Amino acid sequence: MKHMLRRLTLASLAAVLLTVSALADSGPKPLLTVRVENAPEEGYYLDLVAEGEYEGHTYGSGESEYSGIDWSYSDEEAAALDTELLDALRAAVPEGYHACTAEGTGGAPMWGELEGTPTGRQGESLHTFRYFGVPDTYQILIATAGGDTYLFPPCTRTALQSSVTVDWETKSVEVPPAWIGYVLQFLCTLLPTLVIEGVVLVLFGFSWKQNRKPFLLVNLVTQGALAVYFSVTAVQSGVGWWYFFLLIPAEVVIAFVEGGLYTRLLTGSRRRAFAYGITANLCSALLGLLTVEPLWRWIVSIS
C-alpha cells in the first residue's frame, strides 16, 4: 500500500507540474461567443458596437495605426473582405458609437469574426470576439448583402467568458442567465469527484452499502464547499495558471481532512481508511486538473 501510494503521489505531482507549466503562459482572456439563429441566407457581417466614437489608436512605437480589421485579419484576408458590405456595416453604426471589429476599439485590442462559422445546424452560425478589447456593454449589429441592417438591444457581459444568442428572423437577443454558468460549473466540478472517489472507495475494499452515507456526507461538505468556491472563481475570472495554484493546496488540505474523518466514519481498517482518503483525493485532483479547462470552455459556449 505504501509503495502504491508513493507512486500515485509522484505521478500526480508530475501531472500537476506539466499541466501548470503548459497553462502558465495562457491565462484567461475576455471572450464573447455570438450564436446566430435563422441567419440571413445571403452574405452578412456581424460586429459588436460599443459606446464612444472611434478615433483610431496606435500601438507600440505609435508610428502606425491599427484598426479592428488589422487585428482580426491578415493582409490577404482583409483584401478578400466585401468592401461594400463592410461600408454598409460601418454606415449603420449610430452616432456616438463604434464598431469594434469593422472600425476598432480605440484602446485594448480585440480579435473579431465578421463572418460566422456554421455550426452544422441549419441557419445557425457562431462569431467569436476575444481579448481585452471585448466591451462589457455592447450591441450586436448585422448588415446583409441585400442591404438590410439591424442593431440589437444592448447587452452586458456578466462573466469573463460568455455567450449570447440572436435570432435574425425574430430580431431577438437572449443572454443566458448568469446562474446557469454557476450551476453547470458546480456540477461539473463536484459530480466527477463523487464518481471517481466512489470508485476508489470500492477498490479499497469498503462496502458501498455500509459506507455510502459517511462518504456522501464528507464529500458534500468538503468537496461541495470547494466546488462552490472554484465555480464562482471560474465563471467570474476564468481558468488560468493561478487557478491551479489555488486548487492544489486546497486539495492537499482536503485530502488530509477527509483521511482523518474517514478513519472515524468508515467501517473497516482505520489505516486503510486514511490511505483511501489520500488516494481518492489524489485521483480526483488529477482528474480535475486534466478536465477543468475543456469542461470550462464547454460551459462558456452554452452559458
pLDDT digits (tens, 9 = 90+) for 177-212: 766 666 777 777 788 888 999 999 999 999 999 999
Helix spans in 24-110 (H): 68-72, 75-79, 83-91
Residue with more model confidence, 296 or 209: 209
**Among 53-62, 244-253, 265-274, which range has the highest average pLDDT?**
265-274
In this structure, the answer to whether residues 105 and 189 fall within a common structural domain is no
Residue 74: CB partners within 8 Å, gap ≥ 6? none
In this structure, the answer to whether residues 202 and 145 fall within a common structural domain is no
In this structure, the answer to whether residues 197 and 235 fall within a common structural domain is yes
In this structure, the answer to whether residues 228 and 129 fall within a common structural domain is no
> At 16, is the pLDDT very low, low, confident or very high (cuts 50, 70, 90)?
very low
Averaged pLDDT for residues 46-71? 74
* Predicted structure pTM score: 0.60
Domain assignment of residue 206, yes or no:
yes
Examine the pLDDT at 9 and tell me if it is beyond 60: no
Domain ends where: 86, 121, 156? Answer: 156
Domain ends where: 106, 122, 156? Answer: 156
Domain assignment of residue 162, yes or no:
no
Residue with more model confidence, 296 or 252: 252
Q: Give the cell for residue 271.
A: 489505516
The percentage of the chain sitting over the pLDDT mark of 90, rounded to a whole number, equals 36
Pairing of strands 149-151, 155-156: unpaired
Domain ends where: 126, 156, 186? Answer: 156
In this structure, the answer to whether residues 6 and 86 fall within a common structural domain is no
Q: Give the cell for residue 27.
A: 491565462
> At 226, is the pLDDT very low, low, confident or very high (cuts 50, 70, 90)?
confident
Averaged pLDDT for residues 103-117? 87
DSSP letter assigned to residue 41 = S
Domain assignment of residue 140, yes or no:
yes
In this structure, the answer to whether residues 193 and 285 fall within a common structural domain is yes
Residue with more model confidence, 241 or 191: 191
pLDDT of residue 7: 44
Domain assignment of residue 201, yes or no:
yes
Domain assignment of residue 294, yes or no:
yes
pLDDT of residue 35: 92
pLDDT of residue 190: 82
Averaged pLDDT for residues 16-32? 50
pLDDT of residue 45: 96
Domain assignment of residue 241, yes or no:
yes
Q: Please provide the average confidence, as pLDDT, over all residues in the chain.
A: 80
Cα gap 160→300, rounded to integer Å: 9
pLDDT of residue 96: 92
Averaged pLDDT for residues 114-132? 88
In this structure, the answer to whether residues 19 and 64 fall within a common structural domain is no
pLDDT of residue 30: 81
Cα gap 5→74, rounded to integer Å: 52
Residue range(s) defining the domain that contains residue 37: 31-156
Q: How many domains does the chain have?
A: 2
In this structure, the answer to whether residues 256 and 279 fall within a common structural domain is yes
Domain assignment of residue 101, yes or no:
yes
Domain assignment of residue 166, yes or no:
no
In this structure, the answer to whether residues 8 and 48 fall within a common structural domain is no
pLDDT of residue 120: 82
Examine the pLDDT at 126 and tell me if it is beyond 80: yes
In this structure, the answer to whether residues 123 and 36 fall within a common structural domain is yes
**What are the φ and ψ backbone dihedral angles of 280, each rounded to 5 degrees?**
-60, -40
In this structure, the answer to whether residues 264 and 284 fall within a common structural domain is yes
In this structure, the answer to whether residues 72 and 98 fall within a common structural domain is yes
Examine the pLDDT at 15 and tell me if it is beyond 90: no
Residue with more model confidence, 39 or 249: 39
